[in-house]
Chains A and B, each alone.
Chain A
Amino acid sequence: MITLLESRTVNKRFGGLQALTDVSLKIHRGEVYGLIGPNGAGKTTFFNVLTGAYPIDGGEFVMNGAELPGGKPHLIVQHGIARTFQNIRLFRELTALENVMAGHHIRSSAGIWGVLAQTRATREEERLMQERALEILDYVGIGRHADTVAKNLSYGDQRRLEIARALATEPQLLALDEPAAGMNATETAGLRALVETIRADGVTVLLIEHDVKLIMGLCDRVAVLDFGKKIAEGTPAEVQRDPDVIRAYLGGHRAH
């Protein structure tokens, strides 16, 4: 198994609060890796440090053998990591199509002079980008909403659009932060099928999720965070039996 992303003793502090303590894990190429834990365990912080939204206080991330630059979100995308947000963050005034085309930003190259002069290369790139964006919208199942302004899409479609926009950056690792939050059973089932397709197409998925059924059904391996520390790692079945995990979720060691 080839390691795609490795975190080595990653630390993050907010003032006096140690949000992440020596979190080390390895994500293999082609798997769906789940990150679970009680509220406030540090899952989203881990995402934010990984994607450069927060600077890292110790340790490092290694992607494909290369260390990631910390605190520079737009450079981390170029290393093949794309993310979605727990609370949907779309470009509200843009259509679904334009959102996805914006996601192509780093995979396109037209500069200001090319744009002003509308060179043949620029026009060709624009045309290809639009075609590709329509394909991605079809892929996530909202092709018919290509011309709908993002803010007018239904909740489930907005989630899908966020995934489409992330896919447009052509990632090797897709990091989804609670993609099923607020979804009904049908929407969750649809999401699960989508993640399966994405995995089948060779994209590794890192998933933060509260929906235990989704995690158990979808993930190849799972890591459990509690108070910023990794307390367990393994297949969903293994993790489910782990006494530390049970204690963390039922609050055993918190009841001092």
Chain B
Amino acid sequence: MTTTSSTLTLPAGFSLDPRVQRPLVILLALVAPIVALSFGKSWVRVLDFAMLYVMLAIGLNLVVGFAGLLDLGYIAFYAVGAYTWAFLASPHFGIHLPFWVVLPLGAAFAAAAGITLGFPTLRLRGDYLAIVTLGFGEIIRIFMNNLNQPINITNGPQGIDSIDPLVIGGVDLSMDTSIFGLHTPSVVLYYYAFLACVVAALILVRRCQISRIGRAWAAIRDDELAAKAIGIDTRAMKLLAFAMGATFGGVAGGLFSAFQGFVSPESFSLTESIVVLTMVVLGGMGNLAGVVLGAVLLTALPELLRHFAVPMQMALFGKTLLDPEVLRMLLLSLAMIVMMLVRPAGLLPARTRYAHRDRRNA
């Protein structure tokens, strides 16, 4: 999953040979759910969510890290994907379409939402863009919250439940299955399905990065006027970035809907947008490996916290002083502050490449 040419430099200054690094990451990704399963299914569930967040972080990184467009309402696209699945594969409207119809549709709707957001914001940059996108994210959430009357479309704050699970080739991923005589729980099945999506997303995004399109995005990010001066149609390229980024959000949303079996506007709050942005920044903006690491860390750590914080507080003080959810936001903020002071470029700040340079590396 690593995409950097340089060796992975760990904070301790300890480094790994890239030839060892890649197989190691792949192996880790493959055995992770099996290891987690020995601690209980809920830990595999955490990994499933980690994969969804990785997907979101990859999509947001495309917009923020590559094209330099600060988007604070990214979770809206996740919502569009999730609700698309909920509408088209649940008893809510009585429609039950298969995943290979719903998932692309969700991606397409999210892309359309991305372009809708992109058009009015084409001339905006930095802070101004951030404010508009933030508003956009809230608009989508509020729509989902209130579109239960006069005609009930979204079922309002109650959300939509009994959503169809992911069924691939006749295998219902929400059911424990036996594979080669091995009892495989639903969460593990979902993990591998999500992992496959993440790997596909990484390949596609990397292809974009090292291409004329990736360079055009980087050019706009570094100097928009100069980008125009060499003939880049900045309008088209920004819209493409918004649409592409949103597509990944839409797919992740659809998967989330199927996995969870339930969606409500609550899942798509501003906090979620900020959490995903934090993953991108923490890992190393622009750098795919960093973004993946950031997403995995920031999904897993709060869960570990949830697991240990309460028993520890009980043991020490005899009562729970800090709710794990409060603690999570507290530590997240603290992590960001420390990062900005110590490693402002992220955990993996290795330079992002925008051209193949395998042949002559001087």
- Interface pick from A4-12, A23-31, A98-106, A202-210: A98-106
Question: A156 CA to B248 CA in the complex, in Å?
Answer: 42
Question: A33 CA to B204 CA in the complex, in Å?
Answer: 47
- Interface pick from B70-78, B178-186, B218-226: B218-226
Does A227 belong to the interface (CB within 8 Å)?
no
Question: A88 CA to B350 CA in the complex, in Å?
Answer: 25
How far does the Cβ of A45 sit from chain B's closest Cβ, in whole Å? 15
B223:A115 contact, CB within 8 angstroms: no
B356:A146 contact, CB within 8 angstroms: no
Interface string of B199-225 (1 = CB under 8 A from A): 000001001101111011011011101
- Interface pick from B21-29, B230-238, B272-280, B322-330: B230-238
Interface string of A74-109 (1 = CB under 8 A from B): 110110001101000111111101100111111010
Contact among B218, B229, B362 for A94, CB-based, below 8 A: B218
Chain A: CB-nearest residue to B351: A149
Known contacts being A104-B212, A105-B232, A106-B230, is A90 close to B223, with CB within 8 Å?
yes
Question: A115 CA to B357 CA in the complex, in Å?
Answer: 17
Question: A108 CA to B228 CA in the complex, in Å?
Answer: 16
Does B38 belong to the interface (CB within 8 Å)?
no
B207:A105 contact, CB within 8 angstroms: no
Chain B: CB-nearest residue to A130: B355
Chain A: CB-nearest residue to B228: A73
Contact among A93, A97, A125 for B218, CB-based, below 8 A: A93
Known contacts being A53-B225, A101-B355, A147-B361, is A115 close to B218, with CB within 8 Å?
no
Does A112 belong to the interface (CB within 8 Å)?
yes
- Residue pairs across A and B with CB atoms within 8 Å: the count is 120
Give the chain A neighbours of B210 by CB distance below 8 A.
126
Question: A38 CA to B234 CA in the complex, in Å?
Answer: 34
Known contacts being A53-B225, A122-B211, A169-B230, is A91 close to B219, with CB within 8 Å?
yes
Question: A136 CA to B198 CA in the complex, in Å?
Answer: 38
B218:A98 contact, CB within 8 angstroms: yes
Does B296 belong to the interface (CB within 8 Å)?
no
Known contacts being A89-B223, A102-B219, A104-B212, is A95 close to B355, with CB within 8 Å?
yes
Give the chain A neighbours of B231 by CB distance below 8 A.
73-75, 77-78, 105-106, 169
How far does the Cβ of B11 sit from chain A's closest Cβ, in whole Å? 23
Contact among A101, A118, A166 for B207, CB-based, below 8 A: A118
Contact among B212, B227, B286, B352 for A129, CB-based, below 8 A: B212
How far does the Cβ of A157 sit from chain B's closest Cβ, in whole Å? 15
A74:B233 contact, CB within 8 angstroms: yes
Chain A: CB-nearest residue to B214: A115
How far does the Cβ of B59 sit from chain A's closest Cβ, in whole Å? 14
Question: A92 CA to B222 CA in the complex, in Å?
Answer: 6
Question: A47 CA to B50 CA in the complex, in Å?
Answer: 51
Interface string of A46-86 (1 = CB under 8 A from B): 00000111000000000000000000011101100011010
Give the chain B neighbours of A91 by CB distance below 8 A.
218-219, 222-223, 226-227
Q: Can you pick out 20 interface pairs between chain A and chain B where the beta carbons lie within 8 Å of each other?
A: A74-B228, A77-B231, A85-B226, A89-B223, A89-B226, A90-B222, A91-B219, A92-B223, A94-B218, A98-B215, A102-B219, A102-B232, A103-B230, A105-B231, A106-B230, A108-B212, A125-B212, A126-B210, A126-B212, A147-B361
